Amino acid sequence: MYRSILNFKDTQVAIKQVKDYFQKELAEALNLMRVTAPLMVVPESGLNDCLNGTERPVQFDLLETGADVQIVQSLAKWKRFALGKYGFAPGEGLYTDMNAIRRDEITDALHSIYVDQWDWELVIRKEERTLEMLKRTVCKIYSVIKATETQIRALYPVLADGMGGFCLPDEITFITSQELEDLYPEKTPKERELFYTREKGAVCLMQIGGKLRSGIPHDGRSPDYDDWNLNCDILLYYPVLDVAFEITSMGIRVDEISLAAQLAESGCNDRSALPFHKAILECKLPYTIGGGIGQSRLCMYFLGKMHIGEVHVSVWPAEQEARLRREGCYLL
């Protein structure tokens, strides 16, 4: 029978402590300033995120104008647009509190139709579009994750017991999706992630989206924000659920060459006429690296929770809530 380590009130206090500490350290590590970001965008801008390429955004019409607007699914494209609009220089970046609704999400312990994350984006020079730059940035983010683990366990020593004494390793391990497939050719992508992350503790899985030698991509990625050769997921082993816990998806963004190639490979050439995509193809937007770090996921991880619904309020299937209550897990 599961039992939450922290009670309701202590959990609410701890959520704020995790968020306040992490975002301050992240901003300092990557030289980011906080900005205000949209909850909705117009479809014809091309700024909404297509995620894996199939998810439907929430869309509605405005009474005043009759125009359609969409609730954002992430801010991957908007951030790059904003960096150009507001004149950020190489080495400067932004982050924002992103809130989204993903209507097609299949809910479980880690997935909710409500998404809250720190969306961040940093301007880089074209010559910095390399795996070395990606790895350096990942190491900076991982150092903030480790520092947050230390900070929260100092405030709540009992949390270490809830993780069975597990601590994140001092360094993160890098591997490509092709190397991972080569290690476990008979396993599914999720099984590969679990086996390798369980062994290493913290993993940066790189180059996600394109087809592997098996002819199947490790996972789906929209073709118009990450360069599939220069992106990654950060995975942490989570003993509470015995899973590879994805804490962030990030990457160096497409340039004019990789965007054209990925649109063609995905059969999405029609997007090249959208304003955002045209600006990239015409080299009118800055080169960037960016990603989204799940706020509730980070809190769930460090507070040893069984379900993400213990750290944020959302809508869940009634049978899921009933099953969780029988197991001692109570959602907000």
Evaluate whether 244 touches 193 at the Cβ level (below 8 Å): yes
> What is the residue-level pLDDT of the chain in tens, covering all 332 positions?
899 999 999 999 999 999 999 999 999 999 999 999 999 999 888 888 776 667 788 999 999 999 999 998 888 889 999 999 999 999 999 999 999 998 999 999 999 999 999 999 999 999 999 999 999 999 999 999 999 999 999 999 999 887 878 999 999 999 999 999 999 999 999 999 999 999 999 999 999 999 999 999 999 888 988 999 999 999 999 999 999 999 999 999 999 999 999 999 999 999 999 888 999 999 999 999 999 999 999 999 999 999 999 999 999 999 999 999 999 999 99
SS3 category, 126? helix
pLDDT computed for residue 48 by the predictor: 81
Identify the pLDDT of residue 54: 73
Residue 200 within any structural domain of the chain: yes
Question: Is 117 labeled as catalytic in the residue annotation?
Answer: yes
Tell me, what's the pLDDT at 220? 87
Number of H helices, E strands in the chain: 10, 11
Contact yes or no for 133/123 (Cβ under 8 A) = no
Q: Considering its fold, how many domains does the chain have in total? A: 1
In a domain, 3, yes or no: no
Which residue is catalytic, options 25, 128, 227, 233?
233
- Catalytic residue check, 104: no
Active-site residue identified among 102, 129, 192, 253: 102
pLDDT at 53: 61
137: CB partners within 8 A, 6+ apart: 30, 122, 250, 289
CA angle 238, 207, 308 (to 5 degrees): 30
The one-letter code for the residue type at 307 is H
CATH number at residue 137: 3.30.930.10
Task: Verify whether residue 246 is a known catalytic residue.
Answer: yes
Domain assignment of residue 130, yes or no: yes
Q: What is the pLDDT of residue 49?
A: 74
In a domain, 291, yes or no: yes
The catalytic position among 121, 246, 255, 310 is: 246
User: Is residue 307 assigned to a domain?
Assistant: yes
What pLDDT, on a 0 to 100 scale, did the predictor assign at position 51? Answer: 67
Catalytic residue among 207, 222, 249, 296: 249
Active-site residue (options: 4, 74, 117, 262): 117
In a domain, 305, yes or no: yes
Whether 293 is in a domain gets the answer: yes
Of 136, 128, 122, which is closest to residue 89 (Cα–Cα)?
122
pLDDT at 232: 98
pTM for the whole structure: 0.94
**Residue 287 belongs to what domain range?**
8-326
Given 49, 128, 193, 226, which residue is catalytic? 49
Asked, for residue 332, whether it belongs to a domain, the answer is no
